[in-house]
Chain A
Amino acid sequence: MHQRRTISDFTRGTIAPVAFALLASGCYTGLAWDDNSAADPGNSGEDNGASADGDEPDEDTAGPAATCADMGVDVAFAPLARITRLQYQNSIRDILGVELSLEDELIVDDKAGSFNSNTLDAASATHVNRYRSAAEFVAAQVIEQHPEQLACDPPPDQGPDQGPEEGSEEECVTDHARRLARRFYGRTPSAAQVENLVALFATVRANESYEVAMQTMLEGLLQSPHFLYHVEEGNSDDEVAPLTGPELARRLATFLWSSAPDEILLDAAEAGELATAEQVAAQATRMLGDPRADELLAHFHRQWLRLDGSAFMVALPDESERASVANETLAFIDRALGSGDDDITSMLNSRAAVLDDHTAELYGMPGASGDTMLPPGERSGLLTRAGFLAANGSVTARGLFVRSQMMCQQIPPPPEGVSTELPDLGPDATERELLEAHQADPTCAGCHNLFDPIGLGFLNYGHDGAFHEQDEHGPIDNSGQLDEASFNGALELSQMLGQMEDVHECLTEQWFNFGLARESRSSDQCSIEQAAAEFVSSGPEIETLIVALTKTDAFRYRRATPQQ
């Protein structure tokens, strides 16, 4: 039927990526649209893409070398972001030294693409109420657990009416306010900002103890928009302008630590030492060596693989099993990507594993524990680990993950009015036969042909990630198809993917979306290509990619208004 292509066709990059627009709208065919469907199917496809602000992806422009060098600095508009739950929680930990679980205190984050980001909507009343209750909770905990860091020496038993002379309570409180605001706001506060905080303290201090007044000041800090929002003004009025040092510092801390900048970073930022790409990269490298970056890979992959999604909860209702499987996947990632050169090959093909009782049992190695190697044949890299498999439990979901998350080819959700019922082929039908019958329906085939043939390669793995050589119908056929290349099973697919340039570039784009907490636009294309080039020439190695992203124009500049 097809001319069979080999894996090496992909590795040589001879197969061009499918154009975005074709996938986005072109896979809807043969639909009888509702009479009310003034919003036509093509429209929904276009609106779905990364081009929501009207900023069309320009896949068909010439290569990066030809255009990017000529274009000068460009970057897409970054909408005002509200802090995420994790950034809030880590900031408290890093600034006040109090480890609190604030999962239940704050409202779950929105998403931009796969990643947590609060850039879409205005905060609702519920969000704002929770900012207050979280602040009251945190401030009370800090005063209870670590009052000493907010104390004043000499002790505040001289009463609230001391003058502002040296050593007074007011001077001490002013110092606390300045120090805390610098960390929470990510820049040295203005005199007026410090005064406002001290005034808040003083108002309450008139009737309350020092501790209660300090607690209230902390509540104010935590509800300040300077903490809750990442306000970026840039250092000039130009439409595209470099970020200020402190703005860049905050982006770095958000990306690499999911937290607030530390003193070293703020000092560098305010001394003008984040002015060049190399200076930013040097800070990024330092920050990656800091324990605060230990969870970076886990944060990215938990969101990217949907280990934070409800499908994962449904596939594995038992919380401890879910934790075990997620931990195995994330520990594996940590190992594979920390190995040095050619991280992506390791990530997709390595058999290294860190098992506990549950995953040892699940992987058919009862008794194994700790560091081990999985036996050849059944499992190797990321796509064959139970975390990915359970969080993306069906043939369709797995194929779609490869297509949309590893190749960055966007596919619209099913059109309205289409029946999602699979045909009834009787009890003897295999899952493969059902899906193939599904594809015989032209309404479905247009899009499903793009991912189901990939997903069929995963038929050996149940929705919970267990491996099966055969099912009730006999040996499982795990043959699959990715565009024009055939493969058998997820191990072969993983090998193919690991060597595809599309995948390297797509991973760059995913890390971009994660690092900037927004979906990339066409104006970011040169930044992505620049980072991808460094990534690939490094091995490809993930740490290089992360640092390369911090050097890009998209990371270091801001656009004042959305492009129309």
Chain B
Amino acid sequence: MTNQRRFGRRALLQGSAAGLALAPFLPLLDADAEAQGGMPVRVCFFWHWLGFVPQNLQSGDFDTNFARDIFDPLAAHKDDVLLLRGLDYKSAIGNGPNDHPPPMGALMTSRRTENNGGGAPTQGPGWDPAPAGPSIDQAIGAELATQTRFPTIQMGVGLNNYAWKLLFDQAGDPVRPEEDPQVARELLFQDAGLDEAQAEARRVRRLSVIDFVKDELAAIEHKVSADDKHKIERHLDHIRAQELLEQNPIVSCEADDQYADALRAEGGSEGQLSATGRRHMDTIVRAFACDLTRVATLHWHMRGWSADWFPPGEDPHAMSHVNNRYQDWADAYAKLGQFFTLHFAYMLQELAKIPEGDGTMLDNTVVVLLSEHALTGGHSRRDVPVLLGGRGGGSVRTGRQMNFDEGRMADLYLSLAQATGVNMTTFGDPQFVDQPLDLS
């Protein structure tokens, strides 16, 4: 595990925009845990669009809630999860119209969003979210940039074109998750399929191309308007990040080619999304095990959803607004919810397979099941249920439920940062944050 850290620690920091932007605030790492030989703590945001079916989660009591259908797939993990109720996305309340794009940028940044114009409207004028700061995953990743090869990784499943802008980097630009499992894996593990000579030859060629592209970008930087310079600078940042990775090849960690059998292989897009999601989770677990990164996001959407059991031609989104009107819709919607808890359970199961210290990697990880809204007709951002899987190195006491009264989601974000050893005391817009939640 320590092997990877040799590579390009400083180089990565120099090259990554995140590291540069954050340099003045760097001091926040809690070096103690590591100095004492503790395991690194990772956080994975398992983020989905669906919302929770309210009639499935009305009790203030863990056992009652956990007996609901939606948690059936998690039966074996009851002792590994902490259910949080009563947290609000404060920044998304009063943020503007209730289409999906406007609040998206507010949810994980804990800031209000401005309309950047354009966008891909479902109807009418576009609304493209532009928050004034990073999302929590990127903020934590920036603090850990010197510790791992990748400050963060982010993958997507079935992303919807008009509402994928959830994550934002230190410069406020949207971070596009990688949807292709193969591409994501190759970027992380540098294509274990090549032999040494081939890999070296490719590295030389790629570095030559990178030099060329860098020169060309530098040459046009002064030709574009001041307003557009930022685009060229960011492109250059990403090219430099490619360069650093090529210059510092990975040596001791390989991707695992063994993917688990399909969880479900039913028809329609369900089977496809499931397979994609599982491959991403396998990659994330592997990256955590190798300490290539400590912060990951898996962003689930449901583009073109269909499944054998799902009413054909019905739209999960339309359903989400009126799911309680018809019993068959309510049933179908609850089953959609199970799709996500099932895959969340898969992630916990895979983490629990990897021994670490006296326990497993699940003890040193927090997987955060988070959704865009609490499922009510108007997609409320109040009382959005959150499920934490894993014990976060002891910072999360599981097997129970915690209830908050108009709690702040950003306070949870602080707790997650602290679990990874980042002593973050504020995040996002100060009006939406108070102090870390004590989850232990």
Contacts and interface: CB of A to CB of B under 8 A. Distances in A.
A317 B313 contact: yes
10 contacts: A33-B94, A48-B97, A80-B232, A120-B118, A412-B97, A412-B124, A413-B97, A413-B123, A419-B378, A519-B117
Given A200-B209, A204-B205, A79 B177 contact: no
B95 A416 contact: yes
A203 interface: yes
Given A36-B93, A207-B204, A311 B315 contact: yes
Given A216-B209, A561-B227, A112 B90 contact: no
Interface of A: 24, 33-39, 43-44, 47-50, 52-53, 77, 79-80, 82, 104, 107-108, 110-114, 117, 119-130, 132-133, 135, 193, 196-197, 199-200, 203-204, 207-208, 212, 216, 219-220, 223-226, 229, 231, 233, 309-311, 313-317, 393-394, 397, 400-401, 404, 410-422, 424, 463-464, 518-519, 560-562
A117 B233 CA distance: 20
Nearest to A221: B212
B246 to A, nearest CB: 10
A223 B125 CA distance: 33
B238 A125 contact: yes
Nearest to B322: A421
Interface string B156-200: 000011100000010101111110100100010000000000000
B117 A418 contact: no
B161 A24 contact: no
B126 A421 contact: no
B268 interface: yes
B124 A220 contact: no
B99 A126 contact: no
A560 B225 contact: yes
Contacts of A411: 123-125
Contact of B232 (A225, A311, A519): A225
A78 B319 CA distance: 39
Given A110-B120, A204-B205, A310-B303, 11 more contacts: A44-B102, A107-B176, A120-B116, A121-B174, A128-B238, A129-B242, A208-B205, A226-B216, A314-B314, A393-B315, A416-B103
A317 B305 CA distance: 8
Contacts of B378: 416-420
A120 B128 contact: yes
B308 to A, nearest CB: 11
Interface in B223-264: 223-228, 230-235, 238-239, 241-242
B313 A404 contact: no
A561 B226 contact: yes
B94 A120 contact: no
B76 interface: no
A453 to B, nearest CB: 16
A123 B236 CA distance: 10
Contact of B313 (A79, A314, A416): A314
A52 B118 contact: yes
Contacts of B209: 132, 135, 200, 216, 219-220, 223
B23 interface: no
A315 B313 contact: yes
B38 interface: no
B321 A420 contact: yes
B394 interface: no
Contacts of B238: 123-125, 127-129
A336 B380 CA distance: 45
A413 B242 contact: no
B117 to A, nearest CB: 3
Interface of B: 90, 93-99, 102-103, 112, 114-128, 160-162, 169, 171, 173-178, 180, 183, 187, 201, 204-206, 208-209, 211-213, 215-217, 220, 223-228, 230-235, 238-239, 241-242, 268-269, 303-306, 312-316, 318, 321-322, 324-325, 376-378, 380
Contacts of A199: 212
Contacts of A133: 183
Nearest to B202: A136
B124 A410 contact: yes
Nearest to B224: A80
B178 A126 contact: yes
Interface of A is mostly: loop
Nearest to A129: B187
Contacts of B306: 314, 317
Contacts of B226: 561
Contacts of B215: 196
Most A Cβ at <10 Å: residue of B205, B209, B324: B209
Given A121-B173, A204-B204, A404-B124, A414 B213 contact: no
A208 B180 CA distance: 31
A80 B268 CA distance: 39
A99 to B, nearest CB: 22
Given A117-B118, A196-B212, A204-B205, A413 B161 contact: no
A38 B102 contact: no
Given A107-B176, A117-B118, A421-B321, A38 B94 contact: yes
Contacts of A135: 209
A420 B116 contact: no
A309 B315 CA distance: 13
A235 B102 CA distance: 39
A231 B223 contact: yes
Contacts of B315: 311, 314-315, 393
Contacts of A53: 117
B362 to A, nearest CB: 28
B313 A127 contact: no
Contacts of B160: 310
Contact of B231 (A80, A313, A315): A80
10 closest pairs, A vs B, by CB?
Answer: A52-B117, A413-B99, A313-B304, A37-B94, A36-B94, A111-B120, A80-B228, A317-B306, A421-B377, A122-B234
A50 B360 CA distance: 54
A108 B161 contact: yes
Contacts of A197: 212
A509 to B, nearest CB: 13
Contacts of A104: 180
Nearest to B380: A417
A108 B176 CA distance: 10
A39 B95 contact: yes
Contact of A120 (B119, B176, B180, B268): B119
Contacts of B314: 314
A135 B232 CA distance: 19
Contacts of A47: 96, 114-115, 127
Contact of B325 (A37, A119, A421, A560): A421
Most B Cβ at <10 Å: residue of A38, A225, A401: A225
Given A212-B205, A400-B124, A225 B216 contact: yes
Contacts of A404: 123-125
Given A111-B118, A125-B241, A400-B123, A416 B208 contact: no
Given A203-B208, A225-B232, A417 B98 contact: yes
Contacts of A314: 304-306, 313-316
A124 B176 contact: yes
Given A231-B223, A413-B124, A418 B217 contact: no
Most B Cβ at <10 Å: residue of A38, A127, A128, A411: A128
Given A53-B117, A225-B235, A128 B228 contact: no
A197 B215 CA distance: 11
B94 A416 contact: yes
A562 B228 CA distance: 10
Given A34-B93, A79-B227, A420-B377, A310 B304 contact: yes
Contacts of A421: 321-322, 324-325, 377
A48 B175 CA distance: 23
